[in-house]
A and B are shown apart, each in its own frame.
Chain A
Amino acid sequence: MKHLLSIADLSDSEILGILDTASELEKLTSGSVKKLPTLRGRTVVNLFFEDSTRTRLSFESAAKRLSADVTNFSAKGSSVSKGESLKDTAQTLEAMGADLIVIRHPASGAAQRLAESGWIKASVINAGDGTHQHPTQALLDAFTIRKHFGPTLTSFSGLRIAIVGDIQHSRVARSNVLLLKKLGADVTLIAPPTLLPSIIDSWGVKSSYDFDENLEDFDVVMMLRVQLERMSDSFFPNGREYSKAYGLDGDRLKRLKSDAIVMHPGPMNRGLEISAASADSIRSVVLDQVSNGVLVRMAALYQLLGGPEFASVQETLGA
């Protein structure tokens, strides 16, 4: 694997390989020593053209735990705001020795463009491109689901998963739909018609406008962040109405199966798509998602920076 751009590019075994590597890394770093020497001397650049504290910190922690050197480049206050192009920025960073670039960009396709245009030779990880993909989010979500429902699951067949909210503009939803379908989960997308792509049937998953229908059947309820600016674009009238129809409040929480889990990629709008009671409930695995994110990103960095295959991870690490 040279780049990690979209879940669409990954085979089932590559997905499971990353999840297994993450599990292995979890065991290796669960003791008092959290740092491995694996990527010593390699340079990872976090190239962020969009605000994102948690994803950037997660990649930074992942790289540091593998002993890589990490440089953070944020578009604000940089030459990008003076009109420097993506191409020039990336080439400049590579000239400074970047082996791998983690990119977040508001334009869909920016990561693929960076990887395939011939501008640079470094590996590229897509940390979110516009409304297209956020593959490490889907991988960490799958890792979290697997931890909950069976750490060695190789298939999600039989698991019923709801993804609720702004599907239209969500790279998290697009990535998760692809991954969960590959692993055989039964996926339902729930949103008002304005926030579902009009040709949603072509995605090969179920969809519904009604959150309350079949709520008792879901094993996983994944809530998406609602961007408040959607209101001014008339996607829905206001937060109150949205919350009533599509928010996970206390009443809906009570109706969930006893072993169902509640997920959210963060940052949460408490009181809008998720109530405080739901966010803080025993069902919520939101903080697990955060810690699993570091492990999954360690696994991705490890695989892309030419680490040996998973089978020999332990030997290589001298564990």
Chain B
Amino acid sequence: MELLLKDGILPNGSTSDIRIEGEIITELGQELSSAGEVINCKGLRILPGFVDLHTHLREPGRENAETVLTGSRAAIRGGFTAISPMANTSPVADSAGVVEQVWRLGREAGLCDVFPIGAVSDGLEGKKLSEMKAMADSAAHVRVFSDDGKCVSDSLLMRRALEYVKSFGGVIAQHAQDPRLTEGAQMNEGIVSSQLGLAGWPAIAEESIIARDILLAHSIGSRLHICHLSTKGSVEIIRWAKSQGMQVTAEVTPHHLLLTDETARTYDPIYKVNPPLRTDEDVKALRAALADGTIDIVSTDHAPHPTEDKDCEWAAAAFGMVGLETALGIVITTMIETGLIDWPRLVEVMSANPAKIGGYITHGMDLKKGSVANIAIVDPSKKWTVDRELLHSKSKNTPFHGWQLTGDVMHTIFNGKVVMRNHNLIGVSHE
């Protein structure tokens, strides 16, 4: 099987054709021709497929919100060729059995790689270590572990986890949230929360855990990844740690690059998310940190919820928003259009760096001969309006309904196979 991408723009700005045979890129050059399938990429950017290190797919347990199949569809619509579902399913992904089930469902969907993240503690309870080695040795080959949704707040358990994963090259992805400082918390603690009477979520609850974990990881030489940074103070701590040569990586979500706590004034829980949306000053700091390398990756924290979990009063609503299908548009709108980053940096933060942290060796590869063809083909200047009814995700909880974004994924290629062409997904009927 042969596939030819004609006249696309590579991340470095040059124009090239790309020939793909089987799963592999076999040739780059000008004026290539092919008897096989050809995609005209004139004016489009050809990028390594995106890698999401922070996804919630809800299967097993909450299939009414999302399944591995519908989440995979949302992923390739957004240009992602690898996604990493978090462990907070029901049952929790804290055993080889559950991670293998999720991994196998991903293989059956066949649209992108689904690399499960294993729980750090049994049942996400933060009390004893889960069988991380068994998950690492399973068919799912888990390397990233997280209690995401909950913080590994016990210092001793966190230390043990960081030590334990060293034997198989694992990384602990921490959801940094001091539970005592955030009991009942509903939104960012600040001027807006004080006026709205919603219980505040202080920045220090995130920052104090990050500071502790950086010191812990450094003292034992382990790899630490910090999930979804949301505050300026967190950025400053990570920047300091990196300046000291400490091994830590950090992520930011698209929504934290764009939205602030002012949105809570609507009391519409579509804006309710964990960690909470912060202030304009935090948004600016996060953007600057993503540009200067303090923050390594963009992750979606795609968190599907059925309508009834958001169609209620704020306090009763679930935390989270879907993000796979709007991620690229938001990153282009907030980072490329503003001139804060260039395309090579976008490739780093959305593909190469997350692939490296997760150890996903067939993703995030340079577009060169011999690389596995995991590719997103993007119209960089197309303006489009988000319509929640058109999302492939089973859930519609996006705060960006009706927003105009710049930059859209047109085609997605997974392991050499076109899984989306002109927005048409294979295996999905279109009227």
Residues of B close to A107: CB separation below 8 A: 313-316
**Which single member of B266, B312, B314 contacts A108 (CB below 8 Å)?**
B314
Closest to A131 in B: B197
Chain A CB within 10 A, most for which of B191, B267, B308, B316: B267
Question: Is B195 an interface position by the 8 A CB rule?
Answer: yes
Interface size of A in residues (CB-CB distance below 8 Å): 26
Query: How far is B96's CA from A205's CA once the two chains are assembled, in angstroms?
Result: 58
Residues of A close to B191: CB separation below 8 A: 199, 202
Query: How far is B186's CA from A129's CA once the two chains are assembled, in angstroms?
Result: 15
Question: Is B137 an interface position by the 8 A CB rule?
Answer: no
Number of A-B contacts (CB under 8 A): 66
Question: Is A86 an interface position by the 8 A CB rule?
Answer: yes
Query: How far is B196's CA from A202's CA once the two chains are assembled, in angstroms?
Result: 13
Residues 97-132 of A, flagged 1 when their CB comes within 8 A of B and 0 if not, give: 000000001111110110011000000000001111
Residues 243-287 of B, flagged 1 when their CB comes within 8 A of A and 0 if not, give: 000000000000000000000001110000000000000000000
Residues of B close to A85: CB separation below 8 A: 308, 311-312, 316
Residues of B close to A131: CB separation below 8 A: 197-199
B267, A199: Cβ atoms closer than 8 Å = no
Interface size of B in residues (CB-CB distance below 8 Å): 20
B308, A133: Cβ atoms closer than 8 Å = no
Query: How far is B195's CA from A174's CA once the two chains are assembled, in angstroms?
Result: 7
Main DSSP-derived SS at the B contact region:
loop
**Which single member of A109, A117, A199 contacts B194 (CB below 8 Å)?**
A199
A199, B313: Cβ atoms closer than 8 Å = no
Residues of A close to B190: CB separation below 8 A: 199
Query: How far is B194's CA from A110's CA once the two chains are assembled, in angstroms?
Result: 16
B313, A110: Cβ atoms closer than 8 Å = yes
Question: Is B7 an interface position by the 8 A CB rule?
Answer: no
Query: How far is B313's CA from A61's CA once the two chains are assembled, in angstroms?
Result: 28
Residues 194-230 of A, flagged 1 when their CB comes within 8 A of B and 0 if not, give: 0001111011000000000000000000000000000
Closest to A200 in B: B194
Question: Is A244 an interface position by the 8 A CB rule?
Answer: no
25 CB contacts below 8 A, A to B, read: A85-B308, A86-B313, A86-B316, A105-B313, A106-B315, A107-B314, A107-B316, A108-B197, A109-B196, A109-B198, A109-B314, A110-B313, A112-B267, A113-B267, A113-B312, A113-B313, A113-B314, A129-B197, A130-B197, A130-B198, A130-B315, A131-B198, A132-B198, A197-B194, A202-B191
What is the interface of chain A, defined by CB distance below 8 A to chain B?
85-87, 105-110, 112-113, 116-117, 129-133, 171, 174, 197-200, 202-203
What is the interface of chain B, defined by CB distance below 8 A to chain A?
186, 189-191, 194-199, 266-268, 308, 311-316
Taking A86-B313, A109-B198 as known contacts, 11 extra A-B pairs with beta carbons closer than 8 A to each other, sorted by chain A number, are: A86-B312, A86-B316, A106-B315, A107-B315, A108-B315, A109-B267, A109-B315, A116-B267, A129-B197, A174-B197, A202-B194
